[in-house]
Structure 1
Amino acid sequence: MTADDPLGRLDDDDYPAYTMGRAAEMIGTTPGFLRALGEARLITPLRSDGGHRRYSRYQLRIAARARELVDQGTPIEAACRIIALEDQLEEAQRINAEYRRASGEPESPATD
């Protein structure tokens, strides 16, 4: 497949392939919940030429995690903050592991 082939983009986690209705259906929530995540700036859907929201698989994973937390009783604002902090921690751990590999240090086991 070439870069100009639209089917090649379906493997791209960041490609905004899903409409709001389909995205909500896939993660078992409502379009209003997805709008709330956008208002909280947890995810920012892209817009189609017609102005409709489009979501990527990556954004759907984040929204599904937010839904889990909200379903457990966490307020949406707190859920968004938790997810942002989890993402920052994961990135810091990835960078730390890269530094260790580059310096020849053994990697420490991951902690939960």
Structure 2
Amino acid sequence: MLANFTVTEEQRRAIPVIGDPEPDVLLRLDLFYAAVGVAIEERSGLLISRTLEISDEGIGRVLFTTRRLVVLSKTLRDAHRFGFNTLGKCAKTGTKLVKDAIKSIEAYPDVARA
């Protein structure tokens, strides 16, 4: 299952620059950011809401909020080419996103708990 998250440079080059995201790619995006949301919840003890919106061209945004605070906002481009070179890169990216969200919560604890 995790192997689906790896896309080598050769595979990425074979995917057209412009294209509609396929359902399996959208599912991978959804699963990755859902896992990030769960990790933020576990680390912060707060309920996190996730909004993921992708256009037909593969451009979009993912937002993580808790109460009144946007803890993480990420612009997505080329969603139809989503994937990581290695599983280690996937884990590193997810960990960085979680750390960034936790920093926001720690910087604004009153807003996060309002």
TM range (shorter): 0.3 to 0.5
Structure with greater contact order relative to length (CA < 8 Å, sep ≥ 6) = 2
Q: Taking structure 1 as the reference length, what is the TM-score of the superposition?
A: 0.33
Q: Structure 2 length normalisation: TM-score? A: 0.33
Choose between structure 1 and 2: higher strand proportion: 2
User: Which of these two proteins has the greater Rg computed from alpha carbons?
Assistant: 1
More helix by proportion, 1 or 2? 1
